[in-house]
Structure 1
Amino acid sequence: MILGLVGGALLLVSGLLSWSYEPIFGDISIRFWPVSLQIFAMLLGITVLVVALSRSLLAPVIGWFSAGPALLALGIGSTAFAALSLVGVAVQAGGLINANEGVYVALVGALVTLAGGVLARPLVATRDAFTVKAPSTVEIALIAIICAVALAVAAYALGRDDAWVFVLFLVTVGVIGTGLAKAGFFGYVGAAAQRHRHVLTLGAFAAAFLFPFTQDGSEINMSIATGVLIFATTAIGLNIVVGLAGLLDLGYIAFLGAGAYVGAILSGAASSQIDWHPPFIVTALIGGLFSAFLGLIVGSPTLRVSGDYLAIVTLAFGEIFRLTMFNLDGNNGPDLTNGPNGVTAIPNLKIFGFDFGATHTVAGIELSRAANYYLLMLLLTGIFILVFARMNNSRIGRGWVAIREDERAAEAMGVNVFGLKLLAFAGGAFLAGVAGTVKAHYDTSVTPDQYQFLESAFLLAAVVLGGMGTIAGVILGAVVLKLMPEKLRFFSEYRLLLFGLLLVLMMRFRPEGLVASRRRQLEFHEDDEELAEVIEDRNLAIEEETR
């Protein structure tokens, strides 16, 4: 581990040196005053040092800490970070001539760490991290710390205006996360979270609730966060259809649009053609039920087909919905949606006297309009997650999984295949419709162009990328696909290229998704006998705990 210690020390020291002659990225030209990239390098160095020291100090005690693979992952990631930093300095400062000693020291430290990982003597973990237990107070404190760190990471990431700093920060977080995962840390955290599910749920929602209070009234950052939540809640509904029931729906955005149009038409907007303005709770229910009704209409004749044929039919439905909204303009059909102009000037929500369009001050901190809608969507997200979790763990959820695995075998075992398919379509559509009613008020306008096929593709990608059938995975996938384009606008011309490259890499190296269920891990790695044995041991451990 000598090379690991040397590499970590060099990364740590590099953060105290100058990285550029030019005052870029928060002025990284100053020595002994680390900012942005310099701090990231120091974090990587600290992580490498901890892993290197843990090989001899921690691994023999707890038995599950795999320092060798972790050091190799940190070496590869640190090298990529240092090389990308060098490119960023060259681009922003006008050439490599303007790169100072700090970035080169970081590169050398990363390469030394990589060499240490390659030459590290394999040390096989004697215990599976999933089976290790600590006192409950320690595990609860660890979960609380992880939630607090996640909140700090999200707040810092959204606050970065410089795209290079944002990208390199994500690289740093990714490298540290990968290193800890290779060491087995997240296996232990997953086990602790399984034993304290309620603590994890409360901690996650507490961190999400506190997020607006970390943005100092920033409307831009909260607008991005609210858009991410709307996208995530819609993806949770699609996860019922695709992740649980295994039905490939390429027109799901139409259900979100249906709810949005219901919310817009019943909102009291000047361009609305219906003079009835019920309370928003009633409007949300109507929007959800209308979307579910559309799901039943589409599902009844089409769910008797499957696979590629179902995908084509749902794709056609999405386009039919968009074109229908175009034609309901009073010329080609009833005057209901105002045609291509859509419903505009939608007023802000007012629920129980609370005006979501006004700025409110809580504990001396201003909550902007976007923050108000963020908190509303957070409440809806909690409800959606509860519905998804309950259905997933119910007899209905097991029926959906059986249909996804083998439809004919499920039918032979007495599962009502058609009925459960229809329920999945209608249930997912209902959740999307409710989210659409909030989206209409937040966007203040609804037009047919907002609900194109590309949006359905991104929703499906969020489910697949995050991990089909999981809650945390879908939310993480939605965050990645919605946040990245917003923060990397200078890559706008290459957005689809980067998106496609990301999917190719994911399908190659982690086809089960970022956060995958154990069942799907085995499906995609059925030849991995070691993984099968580990998962079997974990299942036995869980069964023993429940007894």
Structure 2
Amino acid sequence: MTTMTTTQTTTVTAPAQATPATRGTLPPHIARATATAGGALTIISAFLAWTWTSAFPGNLTVYGYPGGLQWLVLVSGALLTLFGLSSYGIKGLNWLTPQGADAAIRLSAYAALATAWFTMAAISVQLGGAVNLEPGAYFALVATLIGWLGARSLPYERPETTPADPEDTGFGQFKHNLGNRWETYKGTLTTGTARPAKTLPSYIEILIVAVVLALGLVVFTYGISTEYDELFIGFLITAGFGFAAIQKAGLIQRVATLTARHRNVTLIGAFVAAAAFPFTQSDDQYATIGVNILIFATVALGLNIVVGLAGLLDLGYVAFLGVGAYAAALVSGSPTSPLGIQLPFWQAILVGAAASMVFGVLIGAPTLRLRGDYLAIVTLGFGEIFRIAVLNLDGTSGPDVTNGSNGISSIPNLSILGFDFGATHSIAGFTIGRFANYFFLMLLVTLIVVVVFRRSAESRIGRAWVAIREDETAAEAMGINGFRTKLVAFALGATLAGLAGAVQAHVTYTVTPEQYQFAHAVPPNSAFLLAAVVLGGMGTISGPLVGGALLFLIPNKLQFMSDYQLFAFGLALVLLMRFRPEGLIANRRRQLEFHEKDEAPATLTKAGS
């Protein structure tokens, strides 16, 4: 007789447990005090002179008033001090660190240290040695080093609460909140982390959202308005570590929860803040960058429908931007247009969007039955076919439609209801130039794209896209018409790209085939558009906007790295995929997918016979 033993495995989701901390060289309370003191000293150092000569840009020779890179060190020191004080449970400040302050302290200390030491190195290299440093510079170096040493002595890991899923409601949300409160309370007893904040009145939450949007406008304006390479590199260092610090503190998730509760207010506030950008500029120098960032980011958001929601890898998406730009240019009254047609702008932009939609359907219909790499290869081929076709439609190799390599030039400025977008206007005492005018127009197009994306993602077709992205075979088995659903995504994404292309044609005056290659030094192109979606966060609204802004701004500002831009770009993507594969602004579901091992439920095994 053979005895058989069966084993029954029961999976039980255990409550989140605090991760054991690895201690540093100092006791935690002394390490926090040292880091906080280092942050305060860093703030003081920003008011001292760092060099004796104004030859280094930013004028770092003044006592009592920060300049240039000193402002960035001041911001880093302020973050370090705030997070350090919040670790003591000071009323009001503990709201800033719902997931504990230690990780935020460490990253803020890195921000102050890296920015200050980079500045001193830049001064020494540019002016010819460390002899050009004033005592205030050495004070800043020592202050940031003290803060860093204190932060390095903190425990390496802290107890963290699991971020809430904005889509979770009802009893599941109640259990989540209750578990987080208990775990955070235990963390308060053992590690000094802050207790969860009380529920705030609605008007306070809206005020917090408004403050966050205002800070976003300040950061965006400062990044665009940096006047020299050293300042922009320092800005990237401070912004990168600062963003990581507030994210580790849980502040990003806390603000995201507030914006989810007040979505309409946040959407309106975001566009009001963006509309205020031209009024912060004295001329069109940086408004040019602003309008091009909007074009690039808006097209990336359209691609996010195809890639982020439907999961279709499109490597030729920039061709739809080109179709919209060429279609609008041909009917906008350009003297070089072979058609000789001049339509009002609202008709021209509809022509551009309709032409892109038609091409999206024509290309998608025969190819969307393919999946994965095969679809990517076909879309890549479509992008190259478009570029070669417009090159050959020059009257020699083919019909005279696009003027070949010369493109369509001298596209006239828009005039809507008597408002000339090419002229300078005065609004409330502010001078608004040509590119600022187009910035407002492109902002309106971006608003349309955001609303379309949001409504589509929350609709039945949006849920079908997500189902196909996760498992197309299973989705079809549940009754979803995979081909038709993917074709709708392809056509909608192409239409949104056509809208942006119609505006781009009027902004740049000229459209040429070289603007719409798969990869070249100047975005937008298909490679950078896809990278913007991945970098920002697939399936989100703000992710591609942020990713597009970064990928356009960084190459534009760091012109001295023109020979190494693609190398730096590739290295940044590798590091991103290693440390944050879900993107800068992650969708909660995708974040759980990429960090499944970190948040896996405990498994208990029960044996029986």
Match in the other structure for 1:384: 449
Q: CA offset at residue 192 of structure 1?
A: 1.1
Match in the other structure for 1:19: 50
Q: CA offset at residue 120 of structure 1?
A: 2.8
Q: CA offset at residue 132 of structure 1?
A: 5.4
Length, aligned pairs only: 531
Distance 1:431 1:90 in 2: 49
Of 75-84 and 484-493, the range deviating more from structure 2: 75-84
Aligned sequence identity (%): 49
Distance 2:142 2:574 in 1: 31
> Aligned with 2:371: secondary structure?
coil
- Asked whether 1:372 is paired with 2:406, we answer no
Matched letter for residue 41 of structure 2: L
Distance 1:481 1:416 in 2: 36
TM-score (norm 2): 0.84
Task: Indicate if the aligned counterparts of 1:90 and 1:98 stay in contact, CA closer than 8 A.
Answer: yes
* Structure 1 segments unaligned to the other structure (5+ residues): 534-547
Distance 2:404 2:199 in 1: 61
Distance 1:387 1:205 in 2: 15
Match in the other structure for 1:306: 371
Match in the other structure for 2:152: 118
TM-score (norm 1): 0.93
Task: Indicate if the aligned counterparts of 2:77 and 2:109 stay in contact, CA closer than 8 A.
Answer: no
- Asked whether 1:6 is paired with 2:71, we answer no
- Asked whether 1:414 is paired with 2:484, we answer no
Match in the other structure for 1:81: 115
Match in the other structure for 1:522: 592
After TM superposition, list the pairs within 5 Å mapping 1:436-515 onto structure 2. 436-454=501-519, 455-515=525-585
Of 154-163 and 471-480, the range deviating more from structure 2: 154-163
1:152 to 218, 221, 224: 218
Q: CA offset at residue 449 of structure 1?
A: 0.9
Distance 2:277 2:111 in 1: 29
Match in the other structure for 2:205: 139
Task: Indicate if the aligned counterparts of 2:310 and 2:486 stay in contact, CA closer than 8 A.
Answer: yes
Q: CA RMSD in A?
A: 1.9
Distance 2:301 2:465 in 1: 15
- Considering fraction of residues, name the structure with more helix: 1
After TM superposition, list the pairs within 5 Å mapping 1:340-351 onto structure 2. 340-351=405-416
Q: CA offset at residue 123 of structure 1?
A: 5.9
> Aligned with 1:26: secondary structure?
coil
Matched letter for residue 209 of structure 1: A
Q: CA offset at residue 61 of structure 1?
A: 6.4
Distance 1:352 1:130 in 2: 53
1:106 to 136, 140, 143: 140
Match in the other structure for 1:192: 258
Distance 1:70 1:111 in 2: 16
> Aligned with 1:200: secondary structure?
helix
- Residue deviations 1:394-432, cap 9 Å, x none? 010010011110110111111110001111111101111
Q: CA offset at residue 65 of structure 1?
A: 5.0
Distance 1:184 1:240 in 2: 28
1:54 to 58, 64, 86: 86
1:168 to 231, 234, 249: 234
Task: Indicate if the aligned counterparts of 1:85 and 1:103 stay in contact, CA closer than 8 A.
Answer: no
Matched letter for residue 377 of structure 1: M
Matched letter for residue 133 of structure 2: A
Q: CA offset at residue 130 of structure 1?
A: 8.7
Task: Indicate if the aligned counterparts of 2:107 and 2:245 stay in contact, CA closer than 8 A.
Answer: yes
> Aligned with 1:13: secondary structure?
helix
Match in the other structure for 1:202: 268
Matched letter for residue 13 of structure 1: I
Match in the other structure for 2:189: none
- Asked whether 1:66 is paired with 2:107, we answer no
Distance 2:198 2:549 in 1: 31
* Structure 2 segments unaligned to the other structure (5+ residues): 1-31, 161-179, 185-194, 520-524, 603-609
Q: Which has the larger radius of gyration?
A: 2
Distance 2:236 2:249 in 1: 20
> Aligned with 1:357: secondary structure?
coil
